Amino acid sequence: MVVTSPTVGVLALQGAFREHGRMLSGLGAEVREVRLAAQLQGLDALVIPGGESTTMGKLMKSNGLTEPLRRFAVDHPVLGSCAGLIMLSRRTAEGSQPLLGAMDITVRRNAFGRQLHSFEGPVQLRLPGRPAVTFPGVFIRSPWVEQTGPGVETIATYEDRIVGVRQGNLMGVAFHPELTDDNRIHRYFLELVAEAPRSNTVETEVA
């Protein structure tokens, strides 16, 4: 039997990238930190972590990553959390800032109230093909998704707000699954990665 372990990049310009790396490694992925366009070479998928989206957009630009990331997202799975979801979006309710525009969604930044810096609450997670479950939502100055275009599925809600979406191989959540010990979202993402065409594969022979 051949077991393949995907190579997953974690954008490491700023924010909670180490925690994503830890969770993905724990699930058997080969993890690489990405700071430069050349480091996208050979990756099967990418995670864009939380942080601060205007800062992240500026760093993407100054590191020459904006266009390479846009191209990468066309044909590779990408998971964004919080600021990562904002970066994946086509527009924000607040106006213009540098975005990748890969997902046909409008997000509202800091949507749960500026004073309410962080909170935890039960997210209803409806991953395609699975029963609905509750997921521990860690929200830190999180956005919500205000509008979705055709082809965008809602995969997570908190109260009546959309906090998780999927469009083909692209996934975004407004909360921080990497800050919990619940790996169901990362596990689902790695299943998407396993089903997507592979650009580079590390194969391990298992007896």
Chain contacts with ligand GLN (rule: CB under 6 A):
50-53, 82-83, 86, 109-110, 140-141
- Which is nearer to ligand GLN, 50 or 137 (by Cβ)? 50
Q: Would residue 117 show up in a list of annotated catalytic residues for this protein?
A: no
- Which is nearer to ligand GLN, 50 or 68 (by Cβ)? 50
The SS3 of residue 77 is coil
- Whether residue 56 contacts residue 15, with contact meaning beta carbons closer than 8 Å, is answered with yes
CB of 129 to ligand GLN, least distance (A): 28
CB of 92 to ligand GLN, least distance (A): 8
Rg (CA), the chain: 16
Q: Would residue 178 show up in a list of annotated catalytic residues for this protein?
A: yes
- Which is nearer to ligand GLN, 46 or 83 (by Cβ)? 83
Outline where the chain has alpha helix (H). Answer: 17-26, 53-62, 66-75, 83-88, 184-195
Contacts for 112-119: CB closer than 8 Å, 24+ residues apart: 112/139, 112/141, 112/142, 112/144, 114/141, 117/141
Catalytic residue among 19, 20, 178, 186: 178
CB of 57 to ligand GLN, least distance (A): 9
- Which is nearer to ligand GLN, 17 or 188 (by Cβ)? 17
The SS3 of residue 189 is helix
- Whether residue 32 contacts residue 10, with contact meaning beta carbons closer than 8 Å, is answered with yes
CB of 162 to ligand GLN, least distance (A): 16
Active-site positions read 82, 176, 178
